[in-house]
Amino acid sequence: MTDSRAMMREPLLHFLLGGFGLFLLFSLVSDSNRVADDEIVVSAGHIEHMVSVFAKTRQRPPSSEELRGLIDNYITEEILYREAKAIGLDQDDTIVRRRLRQKMEFLLDDFTVVEPSDEDLQLFLDNNPGRFREDAVISFNQVFLNEISRDKAETLLATLQSGAVANPEDLSESYLLPYRLDNASEAAIRAQFGDTFKTQLFDLDVGRWVGPVESPFGVHFVRIENIVAGRVPTLPEVRNEVEREWLADFRSTAQSEILEQMKASYSVTVEMPEDSAQ
């Protein structure tokens, strides 16, 4: 999977170019239109755009008559649009407001695509070690019992510790819980035995029979052979993952930050009606 970075970058590049493209398009379109308040210019670029939209839908270019119609229609639309805006018809219209909000959100989406530097990634890894930490792994033997009294538990533990039982696995009362697990990760133990058992298990003494430890299934006597401690990998080992997580985080925080910044330039007053005040 060493090449996945290259593959990941490539679509990012497209996003990035797409974002700038969108921006350029917007500025072009606005340039051609906003010459002066009382002047309407239908630029060649805009006509080409209309033609291509038409062709996409009808699978053919418009006839000259149809093109004339498209242009006339656009001019009408532009005039009515400006007049409507001039008398404030856009102000309280839910559809217009939602559409504009959405356009802004799309823009933010496009502007929050960036390539992190190595320093960014290292910092991210340092600040979020838990998200990349490799689980500790454990190898152990266990004797499982459905239930056991305190007296019996002490006797059994003593027997196991004395080594008098040749095949401790024969004492186990489970079919499917294995007598031995090799190199099982914390996640695997949690998934199979539950979180409480996992937490207890990794704190037990190594190299001798201990127990009983409770799980949702019953009680376990355990002899841990070894535990390989978990560790936080270095950046080169998990660069792809860190980059992926960095980007996902960046996008959501950047967007809310931009929003917060915008918010800062407004003074917001909420006038709660009396009866719905808390």
Query: Between 61 and 154, whose beta carbon lies closer to another protein?
Result: 61
Min CB(109)–another protein separation in Å: 11
89: amino acid identity, one letter? L
Query: Between 102 and 234, whose beta carbon lies closer to another protein?
Result: 102
Query: Between 159 and 185, whose beta carbon lies closer to another protein?
Result: 185
Query: Between 93 and 154, whose beta carbon lies closer to another protein?
Result: 93
Q: What is the DSSP letter of 181?
A: E
- Helices within 34-164 (DSSP H only): 44-58, 64-86, 94-111, 118-127, 129-132, 150-162
243: amino acid identity, one letter? E
Longest alpha-carbon distance in the chain: 101
Min CB(194)–another protein separation in Å: 5
* Pairing relationship of beta strands 209-214 and 219-228 according to DSSP bridges: antiparallel
Nearest-angstrom CA–CA distance, 176 and 85: 72
Closest CA to 148 of 139, 160, 138: 160
Min CB(170)–another protein separation in Å: 7
| Cis-peptide, bond into residue 233, ω within 30° of zero | no
Please give the residue ranges that form the binding site for another protein (CB under 8 A): 1, 3-4, 6-8, 10-11, 14, 53-54, 56-58, 94-95, 98-99, 102, 106, 146, 167, 169-170, 172, 174-182, 187-188, 190-194, 215-218, 240-241, 244, 248
Min CB(37)–another protein separation in Å: 25
Min CB(269)–another protein separation in Å: 25
Query: Between 25 and 206, whose beta carbon lies closer to another protein?
Result: 25
